[in-house]
Structure 1
Amino acid sequence: MRKRTGFTWHFSCRFLPRFIANWARSIPTNRMTNHPSQGATMMNRVGFGTLLMCTLLIGCQPLDTKQYKEVNLNDQFTYSENHRSTPAEYHPDQWVIAIASIVSANESFSAYDELIQYIGLKLGQPTRAVYTKDYSEVYTLFKEHKVDAAFICSGLYIIGKKHQLMELLTVPVVNGAPTYQAYIIVPRTSSIQQFEELDQKTFAFTDRLSLTGCFYPLYGHQQPLTFWKKVIFTGNHDASIELVNRGIIDGASVDGLVFEDIARNDPSRVQNIRILEKSEPFGIPPVVVHPNVGKTNKRLLQQVFLQMDHDSTGQNILRKIHIDHFQLPDETLYETLESMVPDSIIP
């Protein structure tokens, strides 16, 4: 492994505007597919123009502008587009650490900015930020070894592990446990009482490589995308929660930690939602490293995370990102996911 003298943090931001009621009905049912990857393509091709229209029209509705950052959905940049430097300007001696956001762009920037600075300070190395659009791009960066470590979802970890691209570094403990759950949510006034009643309803996924936002409802319940009448891929959990809270769609599968955090800090954003189902506990989204990272470098980075709760600055940052502390990895936490995530999935 090349010597690393700096840390580069990589955010996977999912920018999503607010929606107008019933926009999901604009997605043709004859474009449905049994494959999440093709489903995401369907969403991009069919629903993208609708989303842009919604961005323009939604201004007529009263919203809490503090909760969101408005962006143009065309402004989605890849890693290479954000690295336009020539080979002479590229710095291969810098670490690249990815933070794959599962919430909103606003949440990502505000919650992790101090964490970035803290890690760099502890390691005595500078930091900078780059961006990607989804989990698939994070996977590609690992495949090309353009990142050395990352905060990712558990579903992506299973895929990366199967392809020998990712190893556990450490896992966060939240609310006293290194586990989390998928929540299947529906509007509070919905007559749906069990998962099977979502048949031929409108449903929101987050990212096609997300455990709680895609794999659980598809593979945990062994249902094809055609089980639903219409599906959309929102890109983040809080967007899916927003759609259900507004009664725009019939249901969604989201990260339970994100849901509970929103419920605790802004109850109005979930006041019209009922939790239909909670999954079994899964291993929490971990911090992973590329297998080519040397043992010494891996241990140094690991120790920074493990000791964050030992000083006041680290404790303050952990509170802001809603993590109790980090602990050593335990592969058994993710064993149940091995069978849920198909080997055939190609990011």
Structure 2
Amino acid sequence: MMPLLTGPVIDRVETFAVALPTRRSFGVSGGSVAVAGRPSIRVLVKVSADGVHGWGEATPIPAWTYETAESIVTTIDRYLAPAVLGRPAWNLDAVDTAFDRAVNRGFTIGAPLAKSAVDVALHDLLGRTAGVPLGALWGQRRSETVELGWIVSGQSPAEAGDSVAEGADAGHRAFKVKIGLHDEDTDVAVVRAVRERAPDAPVWVDANQAYTASTALRVARRLDELGVTAFEQPLPANDIAGLRRLRDASPVPVALDESLRHPSDLATFVRLDAVDVAIAKVQRSGGLTLSRRLCSLAEDSGVRLMGSGLTDSDLGLAASLHLFAAYGIDSPVDLNGRQFIESPYAGPTVRIEKGMAQVPDSPGLGVEVDEEVVRALAVDVLERRP
């Protein structure tokens, strides 16, 4: 009989809601993501197993999805942590099953941000245990750098042009424009201003589910004239019929983000021939385990992959870089955390130069967390307010 696999056993899961400094304001069609001068809350998770630790991150954005800092903390502390304590840290498949039993998927993936934070921390822990970065752990790393796009959000056309200039000065050569924040004409005018200031740069847009099918098609035709490379999530996530019609009629490739909570969602869109581009996003898909399944399915189905994040701090940034490098995503990606927030808890961490992020080579995620700083930044998000 073959011996059973052995390895570190999960013995503790801790959550820290931390208040991070905000550099700039940022909004999407659903509302505000970050406000300059107001701390941005992120939930960091530390998973321990036999003396080894790993870290993960959840990014509560109620304007984008239903999870809040409060719900993430209680979901992990009261449901996910008890479900995985005592389990082997290496058995990520069993952890994923335990997650679904603790918080069922239902019509969504079931608390994906909370699940992602624990899943990423386990990957960090396993990489540190083995002494290798995640790409070596997976046996898959196709690139050493990932190009980051500069985000243009919420501004008037004039302000959008200024934002492009700022991004270009910082070394960025590609731009993602948030639309759906204004009326149709103003949205297009903002994109036009970006194109005028960056005539040769890759430019793609993200509506975050803001449009109806008829409006999205009109906008798509106008965006095509501006050389936009992708039209991300123009319709509500569950409007599969509308997205299929739009994909057939749009002159700009339609990219799906919020529609792809789980790999099975992508399988549905593939079967219906309703997707041009799939967005890989670690937290939306509940972590690296399911994200790798989604990316492999996209590759095997001939669906183009692009990459995005959730205004993560450096832990989330590193997790996404490892995923995107593993699949060789060669178009610029939206990993905008450094643009909008700071990560004072991170020691040696991800290096970014002139819009290019280096995929970390250190064990696990490759981000050294100063736990004393984490504890100093921690806030009690469950404290009752009068």
Superposition TM-score, scaled by structure 2 size = 0.29
Superposition TM-score, scaled by structure 1 size = 0.31
Question: 1 or 2 for the larger relative contact order (CA 8 Å, sep ≥6)?
Answer: 1
